[in-house]
Amino acid sequence: MRLYNTLTGKVEEIKPSDGIVRIYLCGVTVYDYSHIGHARTIIVFDVIRRYLMHKGYKVRFVQNFTDIDDKIIKAAREKGVKPLELAEYFIEQYFKDFDGLYVLRADHYPRATEHIEDMHRIIKGLMDKGYAYRTSRGVYFHIAKDEDYGKLSKKPINELKAGARVEVDEEKLDPLDFALWKFSDDEPSWDSPWGRGRPGWHIECSAMSMKYLGETFDIHGGGEDLIFPHHENEIAQSESLTCKEFSRHWVHVSMVNVKGEKMAKSLKNIEPIHSALSRWGPNAIRLYCLSAHYRKPLEYDEMLLKQALAVWRDIENALYELEHAMHIPASDDGIRIAGELNGIVNDSYRIFMESMDDDLDTPRAIASLLTPVKAINRYAGEDMLDSSITENVMQRLNDMLFILGLKRTEVSMEERARIEEMVKRRSMLRAEKRYREADEIREMLRAEGIELVDHKDRTVWKKLS
C-alpha cells in the first residue's frame, strides 16, 4: 500500500518492520460533540486500517482523547461542571457516534490525564539534554536547538513565526518555543518536579504514542490542520529526546468545508455526527466522506449526501437481490449470467484493490464497486438471477464492503421469519385480487423500514438502513 507522506512530499509504500503496522491517530478534544469534519478523518483512517487488515497485516491502532485542555476548562466553567466530568460525557458521546458510523474500535484510547508521569519523564529528558528550559510560567521547548524544526510543514522559520498560535510569555527565548508544562493552581492540575500545573498540548501525543507504539512507528496522522504546530512540535520534542525517527509516515486528511470555511467548533458551523446519523444513516455518511480523495477538501453539501444515499440504496438493493436469488432454481440463462457476473466482479475487485493501493483512491474504488452493483440490479430487474450465482460474487462484494466499512442493517432470525410470513400473506392476497388488504401489509412493512420489490413471480424485501 502506498500513501502520500507529508514529511517527504511523496507517495511512498508502507513498510512495517515486523508485519505489524503501528498507527497513531490524533483524536478529538472532548469539549463538544464530534462533527462531520472529525468523521471524515476518522473514517479515512478506519478504511486504511481495514484495508491493511484485509491484506493480511496485523494493525496496532491507537487513538487518543485530549481530555484536559484550555477549551475544556472554559466550556466546563460555562456549563458549571468539572472539566473531567465534561470530558467524560463527550467521550461517551464519541463512542455512540463512531460506533454508529461502523468505525472499528481502536486497540487503545489513551487519555492525556492518565499519562502525566509519562509526560514528566519526556520533559525531564528534554531538560537534561538542553532542549527545554523553565520560566516563571512553565517549561518550554527551545526550537533553536532543533536544526530540523519546520521539516514537516516545509515553511521557513520566519514564516512560521508570523503565523504561529503561541502563548504570550516575555521570558521565552523564541516566540515559537512551545509549552511542555504550564504552571497553574487551577483544577485540574498536577504536581511536577518544576511546579504544579498541567501539560502542554503537544507533549500529550508524544507521550501516548511512544507509550503504546514505541519510539518509532509506521503511521502518524490526523487532519491537515494539525501539521503545524501540533505535529511539527511532536516531531521536534520526540526526535530530540530519542535521536530516532518518530514516525516513518505522516498522513493528513483535508478539511470538510462549509461555504469555503473549515468546519470547526470555534467557527460554530458544525454538523454534529449524531444529527447527521439521524438524517442520513451511517452508510451514506461514509460514502460521502470517501467520495473525494482524502487529500482534497470536501464541501458539506446536502446534495452530495443525497447522492451518497442513492448510491447506498443501489448497493443495498443488489445485496438483497443476490440473497433472494439464492433460493431460485438454477437455469441455463442463470448459469450464463452468473458467469458474466463472476467476470465483472473479479475485474471490479482488481481495480478496487489497485485504487486502494494507489494513495487510497476511494472515489475510483467506489466507482469500481458500483460496476457489478449496477449489473446485478439490471439482471434482477429482468428476472435473470438465480442460484447459479457463485460464492465468489458475494465474497468479492463483501470484501469491498468490509474495506469501505459499509454494511446492511442486521435482521434477526425472528424478525426475518415474521417479515417473510407477512410477505407470503401479501402474495396470497394479491393472488386473490384482494389488493387493498395487500397494500395495507406493504404500508405496515414500509413503516418499519421494510421495502418490497415485486418481480414476475416473487417479491424481494429489503430492510433499509
CATH number of the domain where residue 356 is located = 1.20.120.640
Q: Residue 396: which domain range?
A: 301-404
Say if residue 399 is in the same domain as residue 417: no
Report d(CA 179, CA 177) in Å as an integer: 7
Say if residue 212 is in the same domain as residue 254: yes
The length of the chain is 465
pLDDT digits (tens, 9 = 90+) for 239-249: 999 999 999 99
Q: In which residue are the cell numbers 512560521 written? A: 160
Percent of the chain with pLDDT over 70: 98
| pLDDT of res. 167 | 57
Give the mean pLDDT of the chain: 93
Q: In which residue are the cell numbers 509516515 written? A: 249
Of 404, 422, 442, the last residue of a domain is 404
CATH number of the domain where residue 175 is located = 3.40.50.620
Query: What's the average model confidence in pLDDT over 99-123?
Result: 97
Query: What's the average model confidence in pLDDT over 149-158?
Result: 87
For residue 159, pLDDT over 80 is answered with: no
Say if residue 316 is in the same domain as residue 214: no
User: Does the model's pTM come out above 0.75?
Assistant: yes
| pLDDT of res. 416 | 87
Query: What's the average model confidence in pLDDT over 198-221?
Result: 97
Say if residue 354 is in the same domain as residue 255: no
Query: What's the average model confidence in pLDDT over 57-76?
Result: 95
For residue 232, pLDDT over 60 is answered with: yes
Query: What's the average model confidence in pLDDT over 244-261?
Result: 94
| pLDDT of res. 162 | 52
| pLDDT of res. 254 | 97
For residue 164, pLDDT over 60 is answered with: no
| pLDDT of res. 109 | 98
For residue 110, pLDDT over 60 is answered with: yes
Report the number of distinct structural domains present in the chain: 3
236 three-state secondary structure: helix
For residue 161, pLDDT over 80 is answered with: no
Q: In which residue are the cell numbers 518544576 written? A: 194
pLDDT band at 168 (very low <50, low <70, confident <90, very high): low
pLDDT digits (tens, 9 = 90+) for 388-417: 998 999 999 999 999 999 999 888 888 889
For residue 295, give the DSSP letter: T
Of 404, 425, 455, the last residue of a domain is 404
Say if residue 219 is in the same domain as residue 339: no
Say if residue 321 is in the same domain as residue 292: no
Say if residue 250 is in the same domain as residue 180: yes
Say if residue 179 is in the same domain as residue 261: yes
Listed in sequence order, the DSSP H helices in 6-115 are 36-54, 70-79, 83-100
For residue 463, pLDDT over 70 is answered with: yes
pLDDT band at 158 (very low <50, low <70, confident <90, very high): confident
For residue 87, pLDDT over 70 is answered with: yes
For residue 266, pLDDT over 80 is answered with: no
Query: What's the average model confidence in pLDDT over 168-197?
Result: 91
Say if residue 179 is in the same domain as residue 53: yes
| pLDDT of res. 263 | 82
pLDDT digits (tens, 9 = 90+) for 302-319: 999 999 999 999 999 999
Say if residue 35 is in the same domain as residue 176: yes
pLDDT digits (tens, 9 = 90+) for 360-399: 999 999 999 999 999 999 999 999 999 999 899 999 999 9
| pLDDT of res. 249 | 98
Say if residue 13 is in the same domain as residue 94: yes
Of 235, 265, 298, the last residue of a domain is 298
CA 111 to each of CA 46, 253, 307: distance values in angstroms, whole numbers, following the listed order: 20, 22, 37
For residue 165, pLDDT over 60 is answered with: no
Say if residue 16 is in the same domain as residue 38: yes
Query: What's the average model confidence in pLDDT over 49-76?
Result: 95
Q: How many helices (H) and strands (E) does the chain have?
A: 15, 15
Task: Take residue 136 and report the three cell numbers written for it.
Answer: 516563571
Helix axes 83-100, 273-280, angle to 10 degrees: 20
